[in-house]
Structure 1
Amino acid sequence: MGRAATLARRTFLIGSAAIAGGVAFGVWAYKREGENPLLADLPDGASALTPYVLIDAEGVTLITPRAEVGQGATSIQAYLLAEELDVDPLSVRTAPGPASAAYWNGEVAAEGFPFAAWDDGFVARTSRAAGGVAGKLVGLNVTGGSTTVPDAYDKLRAAGASARETLKQAAADRLGLSRADLRTENGAVIPPEGDPIPYTALAADAAALDPVEAETRDPADWRWLGKPHRRIDIVAKATGTERYGIDLDLPDMLHATAVTNPAHGKGVTAMDASEAEAMRGVLAVHLITGGAAVVADNTWRAIRAANAIRFEWEPPATTHDTDAFWALHAAALTEDTRDSRFADDGDVEAATGDAFQADYGAPFLHHAPLEPANATIRYTPERTDIWTATQVPPFAVDAVARVLEQDADRVRLHNQTSGGSFGHRLELLWIQQAAEIARHHPGRPVKMTWSREEDMASGFLRPMAVARGRGTTGEGRVRSLDLAIAAQSVTESQMSRLGFPPIGPDTAIVAAAWDAPYALADRRVTGHRVPATVPVSSWRSVGASHNGFFVETLMDELIHQAGADPVAERLRLIHHAPSRAVLETVAEMAAWDGPRPGPGRGRGVAFTFAFGVPCAQIVDVVDGPDGLRITDLWVAAEVGRVLDPVNLEAQLSGGALFGLGHAMQAEIPFEDGLPVPRNFDLYESLRMWQVPRVHVRALGTTGAIRGAGEPGLPPAAPALGNAIFAATGQRIRRMPFAREIRFA
């Protein structure tokens, strides 16, 4: 092994601690050992806690700190640990661990740098490494950006390998053998002769040892990873026995709900709660920031009472309706609002002097997860406990500590499984409200649950975005491209709510646009920051969710003008080999070069590069008397090494279908500055009968480790829009498409 590889490997230091006859193992990076966060709250009788592996009298618990929001994070983290530790991931316990900086995410910090994921140059690599260091230094324990697998891949395997080899060393010392004489299997050390020794019987001995630095296994020796395997939560979810935050039931629990001004940041000018206070089961009505909360003996009664409160609200900061918001964004496409220009090749002004030009738009969208936001808090001056589903555990702890004016060290978070998120659980508003309510009822757990209507009204939206595209063609080719994108800054909005000032340009505004791997001599992508009006938030695939539509619709229009083939011309322009392979693969899957579809049928293709993953999709549509129907969807992507092929297919197909449904029918319109939809009936997405046949292929030809929760979404909308054009001749430049076309 070379010196550089040795140093890189040894930046992971293994920490251990003995407690109550147990042993602790964990991975610590950047040449210093951190404190084991699990030691602070050991229950009586526990024999060992570690950052990632707990061994007690009951067996082994795998610590899986990245939040489970339906994407399979808990399962893949468990398999990464179990593969090296030699325990059956289906038979051991898992726990999310505390809200500790020990579980920092270095990958998510690196996402914000303005370097394309295909850029492997020295400056790009150095900057990404710096992002990883920053992630640890600030304790960035967050889940997002499809970073769970890239961040966990080395950390968790190293933690499992160290635990395995240290347990083997404990057994070797006990038996007077060499560690090399021993092997492990199914949670036990196996000697050459005699009975297996369970890990639980070795924990105390292992605690007295210096942790063994161990190599991780060759993928050729993997038992589970890389092969189809069962998610550890699939039986519970398939049988309806999975427990979510909303299912939590604690002794002596109170139930609450909140109603706040739908104009974010505004308050109450007058309130009449007399009818609510007189209703059956109501225990109290409290003023909270921006509104009021009702506490009752069950959630239904709390919500009914909250609906009976009469409010006079402070007016919103803006009275814009949807059309005014579109105009505001279009007006922001000027030099005065320029936020970034990461791509600026050649002389675009000269090249696009007499160019094709079109404007494109994407509406506000809601996350709309199935489980309404909820949090349960038990407050005492000595200690506060939080039960909620969150993707930002340390920030949730700090937010509650601020509300309760309590030291954060006295606040404990018990992260729950979430019934969906799509970015919703990156926010903290309902947790802060729960803390405000719990302060009135010390010693009793208070479960605060938003009604669906409150979730829709108070949730933070994906920003609206508009784009102006220009380009030229000649000799059957696309020659130049100029794209200007205007949107509010998600980073600025979210960071301000977390107490951080925005720093520099927002890469999210132009994500998957400036870094699209198209080689054009004259190419420019400009981001424009729209003045903040409506608070906005990260939505599945963030800026790529609309920029994929902008880039690939513009590209398709230019290719059509040039008279070129949509696949062949993209292949000519793409300079990134894995991206070319993805596009070639999806074309082969869909038999793109075969016979053309008949009358009323059309196929559209789109390619995007988001979160380091090239993904190409082809959509087939048929236009019939009942409207337009999607018949088939082909998806190809390159995520590098495939760890869970079954869940990977689910994530790619799920992301694509999520993108199709929202492109077809979803939007959050505004009237008088306020969002209109208050329930699912007015926020329609893909219906079961509209789901096409889905065909997915992951190439797995590179050594990269990438996530798949978000990259499947961005190509879906443009592929559908391009298919609609191919079938009907109608070019739709603003989502949702249902504004202009009827779907069957």
Structure 2
Amino acid sequence: MSQPENPGRRNFIKVTTYAGVGLSLGFQLSACSDDAEDNQAFTPNAWLTIFPDNRVQIAISKVEMGQGILTAIPILIAEELEVDWSKVEVELAEASSKYGSMYTGGSKSIRNLWSPLRKAGATARELLIGAAANQWKVATSECYAKEGKVWNKQSGQQITFGELTEAAKNVAVPDKVTLKQPNEFNLIGKPVKHLDAADKVTGAAQFGIDVELPGLKFAAIKHAPVFGTRLQSVDESKIAGLSGVQKVVKLEKAVAVVADSYWQAQRALDKLLITWTESTREKLSTAQIRTDLQQLVNQKGELVKQNGTIVSTGKELEINAEYSAAFQAHAPMETVNCTVHVHDDGCDIWAPTQHPVAAQAEARENLNSGVGYWASKMLRKIGVSDNVRVFPTLVGGGFGRRLKQDYVAEAVIIAKQVDFPVKLIWSREEDIQHDFYRPFSYHKIAAKIDEQQNIIDWQHHAAGASKGLVAGSALSMPYSMAHQSLYFSHKNHGVPIGSWRSIASSHNAFVTECFIDEIAHSLKVDPLEFRLKLVANNRAKLVLENVARIAQWQQRENSGRALGIALYPCFGSYIAMVVEAKVDDADELNIDNIYCVADVGIVVNSDTVKAQIEGGIIFALNATVKHSIEIEQGRVKESNFDDYSMLRINEIPPIHINIINSSEKPGGVGEIAVPPLAPAVANAYFAATGKRLRNIPFL
């Protein structure tokens, strides 16, 4: 049975009354809970507009980077609104603090918006039903909405939403709305075609790199190659009089050339004689980083967290192992880019960013200096715009890289020095060699297991450049243990690091799931049965049992198949994988099949969920068996896809995905498939060879 929900109307919904616009509802995503304070000032940060021609437009503050959010968001609204799906449109909102952070990452969008968007749709539905009921002079209970119309149950009369928009403005926002139960869904959980699919196929979709403006020029950039170096001097003599070149711009750690075309700019940039300062990191290498971090995990570290109590009899089996995870680049299909036009009326920015408000702040900081920056800040405080506008575009792959706004700052600095719009494009080499990488991490785990095969003590010591990016989620395991402790040792070698798809879960799942496997084999226990014995969560147990079933785990020994298993809960979801592999006479690992079962809660768009999981598996497989970032002589060794290679389509094994039919609230999807892949591969390799792989990637 459907349940009534309180939209908290003073803090959640506002109906606008602009003549001729239709019915426009502003709603506040951060203040839609039932316990929101009624005396808070109401500032809408998302908009739903129903036009007289029956179009439904949704403007919202999330970024589309292939995860399908521009379809998932309207599905949530349309499900409750009962609108004709073909009439739904979505537009990306301009960056503004009124939208909150506008941050897109951490697989949070649907998790955070699941309730407020459905309440917004249900509220709009009730306003339209109320308008129709008033017109027919019947009770609202005698009306219902379906396919963009309100119907009279008794007479069979119908009125389109578009015809009701003006009248609906005069209907009081309801105190409570009724949300559907899962068995009533028409759109949620179904395979729905992406609203932007046709534009992407035809080339009409605008990514950052596609932005075109009158008088647009292009900038190519070269950054200091060694970590810690800065620009010292530039000899421009070899490009003097070169056709199309507009300007050479010197930045603190880079040089850019502005020209009529990108290739003119890049060719001129390659001809410059650039001198960089010296750096203390010129001898830095991955080998040195590994050695330093390995030493740290064998010393005393900072106690980050501990749970439970150790009850020891002195007869426990003690096991320990050390693991490492390499630097990884993001390498999205669309390289870093940004278009900026600084003009008399302000500054306009078009950016494929995961954080538009942060991009706006970065632009302001680099556009103004000293008094100008503070004057801009004070004007905004009194409600006067400084006209620094950020227009988010579609993003050709993010994976966490575009949470950083360094490229926006560079584009603004360059555009300040010319009187025309400039599009800054990083080459693939710059994109790979000047990324914010997944940090190198080193781990040591020790465990004690009692005579009943229970883990009574689990100690994880992690070392790296960032506590959050290295040790975060390290104890997020679905297993019962008497005592757990997490230690961390910090050492920053000066290599830029940042969020990478699934953040710290990408390496902590590898570490913990490989070690769980090692414990099981030390006890001579089936790895699946050992996990099932330890699992303390029904959702985790269900995905384990189901992945074992579809992979035919129990029949593996009779069939001679080498299987590895892994389980991991993350981003509000549960996921388990089995990898089937073999090793040839040259000790080369060959993966024959990948089986995956996930419980992501209620599925919003089934096609998108499977596509995201499949994409996550391939992303993780690349980082497991194909590539890594290596540091030599203080710089990144890799530069393009010839030495930071990607799997070809013929190298991708069959992937079998099963989604649990769940009634739980939606969990994350875009990142969950990355963590369990590497340990499942490593455990399959052990099953095939009896040898452990403890360092990823396995190259």
Q: What TM-score, normalized by structure 1, do the two folds share?
A: 0.84
Q: Retained in 1: the 8 A contact 2:60–2:91?
A: yes
What's the CA shift string for 1:80-102, capped at 9, x where partnerless? 12222233444432112122344
Instruction: Give the C-alpha shift of residue 8 in structure 1.
Output: 8.3
Q: Is 1:411 aligned to 2:419, yes or no?
A: no
Counterpart among 533, 542, 547 of residue 586 in structure 1: 547
What's the CA shift string for 1:682-724, capped at 9, x where partnerless? 1123332221111111213342321111111111000000101
2:120 aligns with: 159
- Tell me which moved more, 247-256 or 549-558: 247-256
Q: Retained in 1: the 8 A contact 2:464–2:491?
A: yes
Q: Is 1:615 aligned to 2:623, yes or no?
A: no
1:441 aligns with: 418
- Tell me which moved more, 423-432 or 300-309: 300-309
Distance 1:631 1:390 in 2: 37
Q: Retained in 2: the 8 A contact 1:260–1:290?
A: yes
Cα 1:254–1:170 shift into 2, 3 Å: farther
Distance 1:685 1:542 in 2: 20
Structure 2: runs of 5+ lacking an equivalent: none
What's the CA shift string for 1:277-301, capped at 9, x where partnerless? 5332111111123222211112222
Distance 2:335 2:301 in 1: 36
Structure 1: runs of 5+ lacking an equivalent: 38-49, 104-138, 490-505, 739-744
Q: Retained in 1: the 8 A contact 2:103–2:354?
A: yes
Instruction: Give the C-alpha shift of residue 5 in structure 1.
Output: 8.7
- Tell me which moved more, 704-713 or 301-310: 301-310
Q: Is 1:571 aligned to 2:532, yes or no?
A: yes
Cα 1:21–1:236 shift into 2, 3 Å: closer
Correspondences of 1:159-178 after superposition (within 5 Å): 159-174=120-135, 176-178=137-139
Distance 2:323 2:315 in 1: 21
Instruction: Give the C-alpha shift of residue 734 in structure 1.
Output: 0.6
Instruction: Give the C-alpha shift of residue 517 in structure 1.
Output: 2.0
Alignment RMSD (CA, Å): 2.8
1:681 is paired with a residue whose SS is coil
Cα 1:320–1:252 shift into 2, 3 Å: same
Q: Is 1:203 aligned to 2:165, yes or no?
A: yes
1:554 aligns with: 515
Q: Is 1:323 aligned to 2:319, yes or no?
A: no
Residue type at the aligned position of 1:307: D
Correspondences of 1:305-384 after superposition (within 5 Å): 305-318=268-281, 319-333=283-297, 337-338=301-302, 340-343=304-307, 345-346=309-310, 355-384=318-347
Q: Retained in 2: the 8 A contact 1:316–1:674?
A: no
Instruction: Give the C-alpha shift of residue 239 in structure 1.
Output: 5.2
Cα 1:240–1:339 shift into 2, 3 Å: farther
Cα 1:607–1:210 shift into 2, 3 Å: same
Distance 2:165 2:280 in 1: 60
Instruction: Give the C-alpha shift of residue 56 in structure 1.
Output: 7.0
Distance 1:344 1:52 in 2: 48
1:737 is paired with a residue whose SS is coil
Residue type at the aligned position of 1:144: G
Instruction: Give the C-alpha shift of residue 541 in structure 1.
Output: 0.4
Instruction: Give the C-alpha shift of residue 258 in structure 1.
Output: 2.0
Residue type at the aligned position of 2:610: E
Q: Retained in 2: the 8 A contact 1:188–1:199?
A: yes
Instruction: Give the C-alpha shift of residue 25 in structure 1.
Output: 1.0
Distance 1:569 1:209 in 2: 60
1:16 is paired with a residue whose SS is strand
Distance 1:464 1:377 in 2: 34
1:108 aligns with: none
1:295 is paired with a residue whose SS is strand
What's the CA shift string for 1:564-623, capped at 9, x where partnerless? 100000111111121111111111111111141656x41111111222222111000122
Instruction: Give the C-alpha shift of residue 35 in structure 1.
Output: 2.4
Q: Is 1:462 aligned to 2:423, yes or no?
A: no
Residue type at the aligned position of 2:122: A
Cα 1:98–1:606 shift into 2, 3 Å: same
Counterpart among 66, 70, 85 of residue 70 in structure 1: 66
Cα 1:265–1:94 shift into 2, 3 Å: farther
2:678 is paired with a residue whose SS is helix
- Tell me which moved more, 720-729 or 510-519: 510-519
Instruction: Give the C-alpha shift of residue 255 in structure 1.
Output: 1.5
Correspondences of 1:10-159 after superposition (within 5 Å): 13-22=12-21, 23-28=23-28, 29=31, 30-31=36-37, 32-36=40-44, 51-53=47-49, 55=51, 59-103=55-99, 139-159=100-120
Distance 2:405 2:614 in 1: 29
Distance 1:11 1:320 in 2: 58
Q: Retained in 1: the 8 A contact 2:47–2:60?
A: no
- Tell me which moved more, 532-541 or 259-268: 259-268
Correspondences of 1:701-740 after superposition (within 5 Å): 701-738=662-699
1:117 aligns with: none
Cα 1:565–1:8 shift into 2, 3 Å: farther
Q: Retained in 2: the 8 A contact 1:662–1:686?
A: no
Counterpart among 608, 618, 630 of residue 657 in structure 1: 618
Cα 1:26–1:577 shift into 2, 3 Å: same
Q: Retained in 1: the 8 A contact 2:435–2:496?
A: no
1:635 is paired with a residue whose SS is strand
Cα 1:594–1:194 shift into 2, 3 Å: closer
Q: Retained in 1: the 8 A contact 2:83–2:148?
A: yes
Q: Retained in 1: the 8 A contact 2:127–2:173?
A: yes
Cα 1:614–1:218 shift into 2, 3 Å: closer
Instruction: Give the C-alpha shift of residue 303 in structure 1.
Output: 1.8
- Tell me which moved more, 252-261 or 234-243: 234-243
Instruction: Give the C-alpha shift of residue 392 in structure 1.
Output: 1.0
Correspondences of 1:445-524 after superposition (within 5 Å): 445-473=421-449, 475=451, 477=453, 479=455, 480-489=457-466, 506-524=467-485
What's the CA shift string for 1:399-430, capped at 9, x where partnerless? 11111126363222211111111111111011
Residue type at the aligned position of 2:637: V
Instruction: Give the C-alpha shift of residue 473 in structure 1.
Output: 4.5
Q: What TM-score, normalized by structure 2, do the two folds share?
A: 0.89
Instruction: Give the C-alpha shift of residue 67 in structure 1.
Output: 1.0
Q: Is 1:427 aligned to 2:391, yes or no?
A: no
1:538 aligns with: 499
Instruction: Give the C-alpha shift of residue 7 in structure 1.
Output: 6.8
Instruction: Give the C-alpha shift of residue 20 in structure 1.
Output: 4.1
Residue type at the aligned position of 2:459: D
Instruction: Give the C-alpha shift of residue 542 in structure 1.
Output: 0.4
2:649 aligns with: 688
Residue type at the aligned position of 1:456: I
Counting matched residue pairs gives 671
2:242 aligns with: 279
1:594 is paired with a residue whose SS is helix
Q: Retained in 2: the 8 A contact 1:478–1:558?
A: no
Distance 1:349 1:534 in 2: 45
Residue type at the aligned position of 1:74: L
2:366 is paired with a residue whose SS is helix
Distance 1:255 1:388 in 2: 15
- Tell me which moved more, 398-407 or 338-347: 338-347
Q: Retained in 2: the 8 A contact 1:623–1:727?
A: yes
Distance 2:411 2:25 in 1: 35
2:74 is paired with a residue whose SS is helix
Residue type at the aligned position of 1:425: R
Correspondences of 1:234-273 after superposition (within 5 Å): 234-238=197-201, 240-263=203-226, 266-273=229-236
1:67 is paired with a residue whose SS is coil
1:715 is paired with a residue whose SS is helix
Residue type at the aligned position of 1:60: V
